[in-house]
Structure 1
């Protein structure tokens, strides 16, 4: 199992972030990203919302940094760590828009893009953007097939129920021959969508027991990443035993990647926590890239 980092600062869910993140900026995030990169962590995350209604933001949060701008900056400050959108909402974009914008990010980062993708649930945001809501699941399936056909090709071609294109140049395009597609969701349908179209499943808001039950109902192919929240926020310096238990439980539940939120009093403490988390992960035999200077 690998460990990735739920990036601080860029998403502020009520009650789920440290106080310092409210005033943290790109310099703090970049220093944390550089430390995570040096220590061999798997990925950083950044999610997408364009505009959240005020009343909904009280429960779901209203701070969401744009993934493309954020990762473009972090790509220049890091060397190996993957950059995972968690998640882009498929219905907000034409597949070739994603192919061009995030394919360029893949080139800029040297092939480190992971596209986390979801169907989306916030109807108000769909309406704001003029995106169809009622058939969003079927549209998402077609968009995923279109992305798979076009992400890594200069002249992509796809003919589907909602998206149809050929004889178009998309340059630059993704450097990776197969950009990993991680499908977000909390339903059995989302897992089946990941098996059919993706390289990973990123469930949320489910108990580990329910996750294991769902995984047992589907013929999960070898190589499909199961990306679980590590629980938390984790406090490896302050509560070593709880951190170890959290990681062990995710590994035993079938996770191939755990995404960790970190408890910290500030950016420096956060980087110290990353050092301690790596030490605990190594103790458990988890997978890290070798540290580099």
Structure 2
């Protein structure tokens, strides 16, 4: 039957209306696809890690803070500092200190024999006044080396002192680099030095009694005491690592000093506990490698 004119007009109107609806929807879908791609690209850019801060591997000045190790205690003569052989700032040709290896002409040693981490913020104030491009910190052994295990510095107090020291330095010198040495393995030093009769006599003067007292005792109580000191040193090193990691211009040695296998050849021939010249040389090597590496120690 022939289609009526009214029916044809109705079908034409429906088709026109459908086209009018489809075109905006298609355009809208196209916009959504484009916007989604742009959003994904933006998200990818946002997820990309920021560029790593530049570490200065060639500082022109160095200041050192810390304890007796950085002062070269007992390395040249009995019960005396010998900063000339300091691993950090010494001038002794055999040791080839950090500053010698870096070719640095301006250096200051503000470490003090007997210092604990609580003393380091004060040393930082003196070191920051020199405006060094690199600061070295080696402290913590005396926090574990006390007359008894019960007197060792609590870990929380150690953390507060170290964080305060680093913040104080960063406030004064926002862009200077900081190298942080791990605390040495005191139990290893005991095991190496206890075979020397002279060393054990010196230890009786009170050297690190928490670890060295009754050097030949291996009864359960002595073992527990030394293990407690060892555990505390490990905890201190975890603090050093964590606090340093929060500062973009700080490098921890990755536990290299703690892990170094000191032998009698590297110990002082007066107290058989502190590093001698050879030990100071090893510490300088460790620091130089960490500071001049492209990437920080793991």
- Please report the TM-score for the alignment, with normalisation by the length of structure 2: 0.31
Whichever structure has more helix as a proportion of its residues is: 2
Greater C-alpha radius of gyration: 2
- Please report the TM-score for the alignment, with normalisation by the length of structure 1: 0.31
Whichever structure has more strand as a proportion of its residues is: 1
